[in-house]
Amino acid sequence: MSVFMSAFAGLVGSFADLLQPLFQGAATAAAIVLFTALVRLAVHPLSRAAARGQKARTKLQPQIAELRKKHGKNPERMQKALMELHKEEKVSPLSGCLPSLLQMPAFFLLYHLFSSQKIGGDPNALLGHELFGAPLGERWHDALAHGGLLGAQSVVYLGLFAIVATVATFNYRRTKRQLAAAPATPATGPDGQPMPGMGAMTKLMPLMSFFTLVSVAYVPLAAALYIVTSTTWTAVERTVLYRDMPAAGAAMATAA
């Protein structure tokens, strides 16, 4: 693990060296943004496939409803019929989970890198790198201890909070428009049965983006940059990929 983390630290350092002429003291922060963008770019084909799959699953809802009426009392037959339907239509019930799952290792690597005092037995030099005076390895409560809410370090976090709040407000309004434009239809899971709590989830969905504010406040600044960059990318990506998606399907895609 230490060898792997050393290699990852070297990669971040190489990106920072590459960006040094443009970003000077903020080069490492810019390298994290670049790394995040590259991760999202690598996962984008899967996101496109997930969007196509979700649209296909949404179109299958009437057929699934018929199967539920026909085999509702026979779960095994119902499951088999659903598997046959998905196979026939070349739709994977779980494709929407892959983009999110594949991003998690990148985030945890970055989190661990900027939470470790030593890498490969040597002091972690990256912890001393900053973004406008705020160390990349520290958290918001550390910034508050150096100057208070409006101190130089805390202002960096306030800027990130503003970006997250803007993206969350955009997602909130978009989701509300989708829900208002499409009639409410019961969402079903891979087994064809109504998804428990989906009605409450649909009502809560417009507010979920605001929960990112909590994550940004509690993780190291480097990881917060990853979250903010990834969240912004996601908002733009889903706006494009799910622009013609009915409300129920869009809500399920967001939940995935």
- In sequence order, the 6+-apart residues with CB closer than 8 A to the CB of 173 are none
Cα–Cα distance measured from residue 32 to residue 85, given in angstroms and rounded to the nearest whole number = 43
Spell 149-166 as b/e; 16+ CB within 10 A means b: eebebbebbeebbeebee
- Dmax (CA) for the chain in angstroms is 67
Q: Which pLDDT score is estimated for 97?
A: 66
Within-domain flag for 79: no
Q: Which pLDDT score is estimated for 98?
A: 66
Q: Which pLDDT score is estimated for 18?
A: 94
Q: Which residues of the chain have pLDDT under 70?
A: 1, 57, 60, 67, 71-74, 85-98, 178-206, 244-256
Q: Which pLDDT score is estimated for 246?
A: 54
Number of domains forming the structure of the chain: 1
Within-domain flag for 74: no
Within-domain flag for 241: yes
Within-domain flag for 81: no
Cα–Cα distance measured from residue 254 to residue 234, given in angstroms and rounded to the nearest whole number = 10
Within-domain flag for 247: yes
Q: pLDDT (tens digit, 9 = 90+) per residue, 108-132?
A: 999 999 998 888 788 888 888 999 9
**Alpha carbon 146 to chain centroid, angstroms:** 30
Within-domain flag for 80: no
- Taking the whole predicted model, whether its pTM rises above 0.85 is answered as no
The residue segments making up the domain with residue 150 are 2-63+95-255
Based on its alpha-carbon atoms, the radius of gyration of the chain, rounded to whole angstroms, reads 22
Within-domain flag for 36: yes
Within-domain flag for 35: yes
Q: Which pLDDT score is estimated for 205?
A: 63
Q: Which pLDDT score is estimated for 185?
A: 47
